[in-house]
Amino acid sequence: MVSIKRVAALAALTMVGLSACGGTDSGSPAVPGESKKSDVISGVPVAAVADILPGSTMEKIKQRGELIVGGSLDAPLLSQQNPVSGEIEGFDADMGKALAKYIIGEPKVKIVNSASETREALLANGTVDVVFQTYTITPERAKQVAFAGPYYSSGLTLAVRKGTTGIAKPEDLNGKTVIAGANTPAIPAIEKLAPKAKIVTFGSDPECMQALKQERGDVYVQDETLLIANAQKDPSVQLVGKPFTTDPYGIGLKHGDEDFKKFVNGWLTKIQGDGNWQKIWKNSIGTIVPGEATPPEIGSVPGS
Amino acid sequence: MSAFLDHLPQFWQGLVVTLQLTAASFAGAAVVGLVITALRVSPVRVLRGIGTAYVETFQNLPLLVLLVLAVFGLPEIGVKAGLLETAIVVIALYEAAYLAEALRSGVNAVAAGQGEAARALGLTFSQSLRHVVLPQALRTVIQPIGNIFIALTMNTSLAAAVGVVELTATANRVNLLEAQPIPIFVGAGLAYALIAACAGFVTGRLERRLVMIR
């Protein structure tokens, strides 16, 4: 009897804990912007048989019948797992599917949840074939991995609570408390432009937004796309100024695999030329950002 | 290894925060744990119930859940403290449950005759606990407490998830710049290992010095 009582008490406790959890998160729905059911992949090209060189990485992937992608499951608009369908949606996710279709003929991908501290190692030891994860191309990183692309270019900007004054540009952050996502390029960017800013980091975007609203910091620095989506959902937050960085995102590949890099760059050129890149953008980031986007020039940044 | 050595001042700062977290939350856990132990062995049924409920609650909820709840949930009901302070309190309350269980096993290890003798001498419950039972109980649980201390040190790394820039968060930040995860995290790991080794050394010494010769 005692054990049954104990189990019941436990269950009750757990439920209290869970409902409390739900309470804190209720301000932020998991998926910003309606994601249209993606048929964007249906039109993307498939590589010619001659392009799949014998003995190459492409051939290995084709034989396996699945492209293994290092990516996120929690990046809204880019690569986020839909809690209802289990599908991974967004710009990065669709790009991965499009590449899989180009190599294999079918959009079959397996996403390995990687993080900024593991992706170099995952590529080096062959756990993943490619990384699509807002992977900013830098010369330091290019010493350890190869970058195809850039396939997208974005920038960081500032968000504040409505009514905040005195913050107009990144230099104004000196002496302020700045919220940033852990493991985002925002941290080194702030350290460079405002060395006297105090940076607090939280794991996910909803946590950062919550922290901004709870006045744990004066400003939240994040990718502009994400912040636009946040400000649309939440009128108590507003964006300040224009993006102050340019972050060219690359497709991470194993270091030294020149054939594969050439192959992926060739694929990027193709989908940028035939309008598929634009279609994938419209279906994800384009649901939030108005207008048209132009893809960055391939190989245009140091490290790519 | 240069990726680690170039950022030594940052790592030092992170290590200091980790040590602050560890020391402050262990002190808090010791006080709360002692109180919970007293509740759990008390002759009053209600108090025993409270002690059991505390231990069951904190042992059955993951620390990360508690941290996120405290950092983001409490401000919703108007309770807001600094991130470091919140993390210290939460880790202290969480580890207190484990500490209380270790202490209780020590109390149980003290022969029943000791408590009976103390009562026969006219000591009250708290007197017998303070002068007879706890001093003997503590000696038998030095190693388990040392283990809890080490576990607590490692658990402080979860504070990185709620914005406290301790050793793990520092390693993350440096890695973002250098993209050299292996030397950076090995370096941070060595710092944790050093703290654990010190704790092991101290508990070993204490155990030998305080050993009871019957």
What is the structure's pLDDT at B157? 94
Mean predicted confidence (pLDDT) in B119-126: 91
Using alpha carbons only, what angle is made at residue A160 by residues A157 and A164, rounded to the nearest 5 degrees? Answer: 130
Is residue A233 within 8 angstroms of chain B, CB to CB?
no
Nearest C-alpha in A relative to B79: A214
Per-residue pLDDT of chain A (304 residues; tens, 9 = 90+): 445 555 555 454 444 444 444 433 333 444 444 444 457 788 888 888 888 888 888 889 999 999 999 988 877 788 888 888 888 888 999 999 999 999 988 889 999 988 777 888 899 999 999 999 888 898 888 888 999 989 998 889 999 999 888 888 888 999 999 999 887 888 888 988 999 999 999 888 888 999 999 999 999 999 888 888 888 888 899 988 888 888 899 999 999 898 999 999 999 999 999 989 999 998 888 887 777 888 888 888 888 7
Mean pLDDT computed over B30-43:
93
A110 and A59 within one domain: yes
Cβ contact B61–A17 (<8 Å): yes
Give the whole-angstrom CA distance, residue A72 versus residue A80.
7
Q: Please judge whether B160 and A14 are an interchain contact, meaning their C-beta atoms are less than 8 angstroms apart.
A: no
Clarify whether residues A61 and A126 are in a common domain. Answer: yes
The residue to which tokens 């794991």 are assigned: A203
Which of B176, B178, B184, B185 is best to mutate for the A interface (most A CBs within 10 A)? B176
Question: In angstroms, rounded to a whole number, what is the distance separating the alpha carbons of residues A255 and B25?
Answer: 44
- What angle, 0 to 180 degrees and rounded to 10, lies between the N-to-C axes of helices B83-109 and B45-59? 120
- Minimum CA–CA partner of A192 in chain B: B177
- pLDDT tens per residue, range B171-204: 988 888 887 888 999 999 999 999 999 999 999 9
Q: Does a structural domain hold residue A17? A: no
Pairing state between β A177-181 and A198-202: parallel
From chain B, pick out residues whose CB is under 8 angstroms from the CB of A201: 160, 163, 165, 169, 172-173
With beta carbons less than 8 A apart as the criterion, state whether A126 and B164 touch: no
- A112 interfaces chain B, CB cutoff of 8 Å: no
Residue B61: C-alpha distances to residues A39, A275, B91, B162 (Å): 42, 50, 12, 17
Tally of domains in chain A: 2
pLDDT value at position A80? 86
Predicted ipTM beyond 0.85: no
DSSP alpha helices (H): ranges in chain A? 2-25, 57-64, 91-104, 119-124, 139-142, 186-193, 205-213, 224-233, 258-273, 276-283
Establish if B214 belongs to a structural domain: no
Q: Determine the distance in angstroms separating the CA of A266 from the nearest CA of chain B, rounded to an integer.
A: 27
SS3 A160: strand
What does the block give as tokens for A180?
């940033």
Does the pTM surpass 0.90? The reply is no
Q: Which residue, among A82, A96, A229, has the nearest Cα to A151 in the 3D structure?
A: A96
Q: Are residues A146 and A171 in the same domain?
A: no
Residue B38 belongs to some domain of the structure:
yes
For B72, the closest of A144, A200, A210 (CB atoms) is: A210
Q: Are residues A168 and A99 in the same domain?
A: no
**C-alpha–C-alpha distance, residues A255 and A133, integer Å:** 17
**Strands, E, within A36-129: which ranges?**
67-71, 74-75, 79-81, 88-89, 109-113
Residue of B nearest to A145 (CA): B179
pLDDT at res. A261: 92
Residues found in chain B: 214
Q: Residue B198's pLDDT is what?
A: 95
pLDDT at site B214 = 61
Three-state secondary structure call for residue A253:
strand
A117 contacts B72? CB cut-off 8 A: no
- Report if residue A13 sits inside a domain: no
User: What are the angstrom distances between the C-alpha of A42 and each of A92, A108, A110, A155, B141?
Assistant: 16, 12, 18, 30, 65
Candidates B57, B76, B83, partner chain A, best to mutate (most A CBs within 10 A): B76
Q: Same domain, yes or no, for A46 and A146?
A: yes
Q: Quick one: closest CA in A to B66, which residue?
A: A17
Could you tell me if A79 and A167 lie in one domain?
no
Q: Which residues in chain B are closer than 8 Å to A143, comparing Cβ atoms?
A: 179
Together in a domain, A72 and A190? no
- Quote the minimal CA–CA distance from A48 to chain B in Å: 35
Closest CA to A121 of A254, A22, A301, A283: A254
Tell me the C-alpha distance between A130 and A113, whole Å: 12
Of A13, A17, A144, nearest to B179 by CB-CB distance is A144
> For residues A222 and A228, what is the distance between their CA atoms, to the nearest angstrom?
10
| A11–B contact, CB cutoff 8 A | no
Exposure string for B93-119, b = 16+ CB within 10 A, e = fewer:
bbbbbbbbbbbbebbeebeeeebeebe
B148 within a domain of the structure (yes/no)? yes
**Chain A contact probe: residue of B72, B85, B162, B174 with most A CBs at under 10 A:** B72
Picking from A20, A133, A115, the residue whose alpha carbon sits closest to that of residue B161 is A115
Interface check for A120 against chain B (CB to CB < 8 A): the answer is yes
Structural domain that includes position B104: 2-209
The CB density around residue A11, as the number of other CB atoms within 10 Å, is: 10
> Which residues on chain B are in Cβ contact (under 8 Å) with A138?
179
Using a CB-CB distance cutoff of 8 angstroms, which residues of chain B are in contact with residue A207?
Answer: 68, 72
Residue A235 exposed, middle or buried by CB count within 10 Å (0-12, 13-18, 19+): exposed
- Please report whether residue B93 resides in a domain: yes
Q: Do B72 and A140 touch (CB under 8 A)?
A: no
Q: Do A200 and B163 touch (CB under 8 A)?
A: yes
Q: Rounded to a whole number, what is the distance in Å from the CA of A203 to chain B's nearest CA?
A: 6
My answer on whether A73 and A210 are in the same domain is: no
- Residue A91: φ, ψ to 5°: -65, -50
Q: A204 and A172 in one domain? A: yes
Record: contact B56-A21, CB cut-off 8 A? no
Q: Residue A1: what pLDDT?
A: 43
CATH number at residue B79: 1.10.3720.10
Q: Which CATH number goes with the domain that contains A112? A: 3.40.190.10
Dihedral of alpha carbons B171, B172, B178, B181, sign: positive
Average pLDDT over residues B139-166: 93
Residue A70 makes CB contacts below 8 A (sequence gap 6+) with A111, A112, A114, A119, A122, A123, A127, A128, A130, A131, A132, A133, A252
Read off the pLDDT of each residue in B103-126 and give the average, rounded to a whole number.
91
**How high is the pLDDT of residue A22?**
40
Tell whether A140 is within 8 A of chain B (Cβ): yes
Evaluate whether residue A113 is within a structural domain.
yes
Q: Could you give the residue ranges of the DSSP H alpha helices within A49-118?
A: 57-64, 91-104
Contact list, A202 vs chain B (CB under 8 Å): 161-163
The answer to whether residue A109 sits within a structural domain is yes
pLDDT of residue A300: 83
What is the domain extent for residue A263?
A: 40-154+247-287
Q: Distance from B71 to chain A by nearest Cα, in Å? A: 9
The reply to whether A1 falls in a domain is no
> Mean pLDDT across the stretch B19-46?
94
In chain B, the residue whose alpha carbon lies closest to the alpha carbon of A180 is B163
Distance between A22 CA and the closest CA of chain B, angstroms: 10
Domain total of chain B: 1
Q: pLDDT (tens digit, 9 = 90+) per residue, B86-107?
A: 999 999 999 999 999 999 999 9
Let me know if residue A196 belongs to a domain. yes
Please tell me the predicted confidence (pLDDT) of residue B213.
Answer: 66
Please tell me the predicted confidence (pLDDT) of residue A4: 52
Q: Does a structural domain hold residue B160?
A: yes
